[in-house]
Amino acid sequence: MQPFEKYHPIMTSHYTLDWLTSFTVKEVHQLRQNQVLAKAARRTFDTDLTQTVRYINQAMRAVMGNQALIWGIQTRQQPNFLGIFQFRNFNLLDKSAEIRFELLPAHQHQGILGEVLNHMSQFAFDELDLKRLKAITYQDQTAAKTLLTQSGFQFCENLTVLSQDQQKQGAKLAVYNRTVPES
């Protein structure tokens, strides 16, 4: 696999995906401080800009260390920050990776993630030479499950989280996979 730092920007028909450092901290903070999104993703929300800076720095360290690919999503016509898309948990043995995404509430249910997810799935298969993508979502996230199914992901299994973290303990997950199309 090529060094991850070369994979930017990536353009779909209507959107550009670029490193988080291409956006202002305030733009990324809008997403990271949103308590509704944080609760849905079962992550902590950023209470100040310093926490968002730390998140961006960690994300870019992961990219430069070939551990993850994390992009901000923006429109091509008006470069507004819309959300985040990422590949993580790469497994070189079975040529797979996990995807994650978050979109600001004002931009949800507009087809943005459908276009991005389809484009980035093809990118993963063609450019990263991956054979399988995995998406893990919470069972109560019906919109995410619908998006994944419409984007060619197939339901694989349900899981229950066993964790010391009370916020995650007992959470019900759904796992979806998408494999490289047969030629």
In this model, does residue 183 exceed pLDDT 70? no
Q: What is the pLDDT of residue 33?
A: 98
pLDDT: is 173 or 164 the higher one?
Answer: 173
**Residue pLDDT, tens place only, 21-48:** 999 999 999 999 999 999 888 899 999 9
Please confirm whether the linkage preceding 181 is cis (ω < 30° from 0).
no
In this model, does residue 71 exceed pLDDT 80? yes
* CATH superfamily of domain region 4-131: Gcn5-related N-acetyltransferase (GNAT) (3.40.630.30)
User: Which residue, 32, 39, 115, is CA-closest to 74?
Assistant: 115
In this model, does residue 172 exceed pLDDT 90? no
Give the integer Cα–Cα distance in Å for 71 and 110.
19
Which range, of 52-56, 82-86, 104-108, 138-142, averages the lowest pLDDT? 138-142
Give the integer Cα–Cα distance in Å for 163 and 170.
8
Helices (H), 66-168: 112-126, 142-150
Angle between helices 112-126 and 142-150 (to 10 degrees): 50
pLDDT, mean over the chain: 93
The proportion of the chain whose per-residue pLDDT surpasses 70, expressed as a percent, equals 94
In this model, does residue 157 exceed pLDDT 90? no
pTM for this structure? 0.92
Q: What is the dihedral of CA 165, 140, 135, 59, to 10 degrees?
A: -50
DSSP 31: H
In this model, does residue 165 exceed pLDDT 70? no
User: Which residue, 45, 48, 25, is CA-closest to 34?
Assistant: 45
One-letter amino acid identity for 28? V
pLDDT band at 140 (very low <50, low <70, confident <90, very high): confident
In this model, does residue 181 exceed pLDDT 90? no
